[in-house]
Amino acid sequence: MSKYKVAYVDESDPDIRKFQRFAYNYFEIIPFKPNRDKEVTAQEILESHVDAIVADFLLSEEDVTIHYNGADLLSLILDEREYFPVFILTSYEEDAVSKGDDVNIVYEKGEITQGEKFLERVKFQIEKYHHKLDEAEKRLLTLLEESKERQLDAFEEDEIVKLDALIEKALDKKSQMPDKARQKREITDLSELLKKVDMLTKKLGKE
């Protein structure tokens, strides 16, 4: 089985190489230097089709001024990819915790490089994310196949709406359809739903 791909965002070349050595046996590390434009950095990472993102908290150095930190970057990414596995590494844990939305994604740099517990946590979150989307995809396909043979009941139609929303958030949360509009749409629009399932399949590297 090929290694999961993990984006590592840091302004320091030595720190990037250190993390690559640390995680070598677990992941394929894709390094990213922060662009001055936060949106550009986020888009480059999302287009790389990685399975998780690890970002340094402080992203500025003496010769390059970056006006955002790792927490800001990950928050922007989660605005587009809900539930995506993200992690912050820092030597300034109190600042990262106070400025981030989720204290559970913050890890102190010195501690994580002392062992493999952090890498196991990253792997677990990747697999949990994939499993969640896999199950949603399988259940949606089952319901769509059954809808060709019989009339679905109200509970099943509502389940399709929820599964559709879940998959859409994982693909692109910003462009997702509002729930009310989704509920009014005919669930017999199978081509659109199957297109999303196909996109999810490719996104998770099944093809």
pLDDT digits over 85-100, tens only?
999 998 765 554 555 5
Domain holding 148, by residue range, is 128-203
Per residue in 28-72, pLDDT (tens digit) is: 999 999 999 999 999 999 999 899 999 999 887 655 688 899 999
- Is 120 within the bounds of a domain? no
- The least confident of 9-13, 19-23, 136-140 is 136-140
Instruction: Write the pLDDT tens digit of every residue in 172-201.
Output: 655 444 444 444 444 445 556 666 666 666
Q: Is residue 80 part of a domain?
A: yes
With contact defined as beta carbons under 8 Å apart, do 184 and 173 qualify? no
> Can you tell me the distance from the alpha carbon of 108 to that of 129, in angstroms, rounded to the nearest whole number?
23
Residues 97, 21 share a domain: yes
The pair of three-digit structure tokens given for residue 168, joined into one six-digit string: 């859409």
Clarify whether residues 8 and 53 are in a common domain.
yes
Mark whether 72 and 142 lie in a shared domain. no
Q: What is the CATH number of the domain that holds 96?
A: 3.40.50.2300
Q: How far apart are CA 87 and CA 74, in angstroms?
A: 8
Q: How many CB atoms lie within 10 A of CB 20?
A: 15
pTM of the model: 0.78
Residues 97 and 134 in one domain: no
Asked whether the predicted pLDDT for residue 145 surpasses 60, the reply is yes
pLDDT of residue 165: 83
Categorise residue 66: left if φ over 0, alpha if ψ from -120 to 50, beta otherwise: beta
